[in-house]
Amino acid sequence: MTRRIASTLAQTGRPHGSGITAVNPPLVRASTFVFDKLEDFEIASKTPFDVPFYGRVGTPTTFAFEEAMAELEGAHRAIATSSGVSAISAVLLAFLQQGDHLLVVDTVYEPVRRFCSRMLTRMGVETTFYDPAIGAGIADLIRPETKLIYLESPGSGTFDVQDIPAIVAAAKAAGIHTAIDNTWATPLLYRPLEHGVDVSIHAATKYIVGHSDAMLGVISTNAACYDAVRRASQDLGACAGIEECNLGLRGLRTLQVRLERHAATALMLAEWLAAQPQIARVLHPALPSCPGHEHWKRDFDGAAGLFSVELTARDPQAKRAFIDALEMFKIGFSWGGYESLVLPMNPAARELPRWQELGSVVRLQVGLEDPQDLLEDLQHALAKLRG
């Protein structure tokens, strides 16, 4: 029987045997598994990702979370890692070596830019940052030594949505791989592998865990890329903690209902903010004014609860006054939890010159508080800018 998404979230990654079975998979903490027979040890060592073999490779708790994510993403398999950055690092190192060329969207998550400029540069890998609006034009940037195109859609901070099918088509024509950071959308709003992307990455710390209490990453791949990515993640030792995998499974059970609330409140606030004189621009993929909105409307199944606003006042002190006046929105780096957060952004630090046009940009993570309370908090903060 084909299951709809809500049923899949409730059922996947759970053992269903005969007799009495716990609702949740048992939390198995282990660094070492022992075997009575050498033959059993040898069999397990040849298939370490199917049966418990060594704690760094995973326990049944790890495998349950990976199984659930693979099913949600429509992937061959999934790989749990210690954080979103560790997942990203494993993917990049799986496909790149000295002399290779990498294409990365210019709106990428800042730690990716640092990894490219520090680690990959030392390795002899050259990175070109491309415009998120490039679409099929990315074919002009592909070289013989290009091995990977890295996407993030919507992009960090400015939420530009890429024409992913056009970029994937260009990559396939050139015989190179594609990978995407899909954290904003989750598998509920976008499933990259169904659109031809080879590897999908999540900072599961965010919406998947959903409670701001665990660091967790996960990589979902097609069959062709799985072995290379699994080897890279193991070589890095970037294994996910067992408690964290358990919290990831817990988060999946309520992901849909949480995401619906995040999205509804965020869109209401975004539309209200767009009409305020203190706001020059609202960067939310569901609004027609957001760059790439037409791609979001075509490819995505909805919007999440994270977006940015550009203040009319370009004075940095205005941004400081706005943020400091907020009470419900606390200042914090992450997002995807139940609490609302605010963070100043600096798009001008990117490579392409067009980001210099933006003034003071503030990112809002819309949590699960009462929508009217969040609206009143924003009203109060914007009032500080009227003078």
Query: Given phi > 0 = left and psi -120 to 50 = alpha, else beta, which region is 21?
Result: beta
Token pair in block for residue 136: 């099929």
Strands 361-365 and 306-311: antiparallel
Active-site residue set: 56, 109, 181, 206
Distance (Å, rounded) from C-alpha 95 to C-alpha 159? 26
Contact 306, 367 (CB under 8 A): no
Peptide linkage before 154 cis (omega within 30 of 0) = yes
Distance (Å, rounded) from C-alpha 295 to C-alpha 182? 15
> Whole-angstrom distance between the N-terminal and C-terminal Cα of the chain?
61
- Amino acid identity, position 198: D
CA dihedral 28, 32, 38, 44 (to 10 degrees): 50
Q: How many CB atoms lie within 10 A of CB 212?
A: 16
**Phi/psi of residue 46, nearest 5 degrees:** -85, -20
Percent composition of the chain: helix, strand, coil (DSSP 3-state, to 5): 45, 15, 40
**Phi/psi of residue 106, nearest 5 degrees:** -70, -15
